Amino acid sequence: MTHTAVAVFVALAIAVLGTLQYRGVLARRAARAAYVAPLLALLEDARATPSAVDFPRVTGRYKGHDVQIEPHTDSMTARKLPVLWLLVTLKEPLPLTASLDVMTRPSNLEYWSPFESFPIDLARPAHWPDTANLRADQEAGGGKLRTAVEPHLDFLGHPKGKEILITPKGVRFTWLAEEGDRNAYLIMRQAQFSGEPIDPVVVGRLLERCLAVAEAVKRGV
């Protein structure tokens, strides 16, 4: 085979690989858009903002309140499989000066959460799930916010319940949507999930919890 023929063969191979890679990117984007599609009917003025590296972020209004749903792929934590978190946020100013973060089973690698940056460890009430850990950015006020979390101990005790965050800017509940496919991760080190669309019922329940916590805070807990 001449040098020219080799060069042509290599060029063709590169072109084919590039085309396959591009098609793969388009397929992933389409699958991720389909994953969040059910939320467009759940929210008013819903908008899905594509991401180059993750699932689209969905914003809109729920019962007149600004909300955000962010599916977040986490492959950095110390576990065998990557996971897909659902960060469900009510974006609404609250009459607070302190913030409270209740995290279940923290691994100290939750880079998507402010939990590690909060300097104050708060005592866990005896009747709370023993997997729950509480931190605040201020001693005064942070402890008081525990009362707003009380009705949601079932969430903290659920295997998929991960975080309840209360700040002056709003409320967030973080939920484990699903774990990645074992074969894809162990063999290819890729974070692949089932492909089933997000369940709007689950998201709706999380949004209701956000609203309930916000209302409790407004009442002065």
Q: Which of 6-10, 53-57, 156-160, 195-199 has the highest mean pLDDT?
A: 156-160
Rounded Cα distance, 103 and 107, in Å: 10
Note the pLDDT of residue 5: 55
Average pLDDT of the chain?
83
Tokens linked to 221: 């807990």
Residue 7, classified by CB atoms within 10 Å of its CB into exposed (0-12), middle (13-18) or buried (19+), is exposed
Note the pLDDT of residue 17: 46
For the chain, give the percent of residues with pLDDT over 90. Answer: 59
Tell me the pLDDT band of 55, cut-offs 50, 70 and 90.
Answer: confident
pLDDT tens digit sequence for 28-52: 556 668 889 999 999 999 999 987 7
Rounded Cα distance, 128 and 150, in Å: 8
**Does pLDDT of 189 surpass 60?**
no
For the chain, give the percent of residues with pLDDT over 70. Answer: 75
Tell me the pLDDT band of 66, cut-offs 50, 70 and 90.
Answer: very high
**Does pLDDT of 15 surpass 60?**
no
Average pLDDT, stretch 153-158? 97
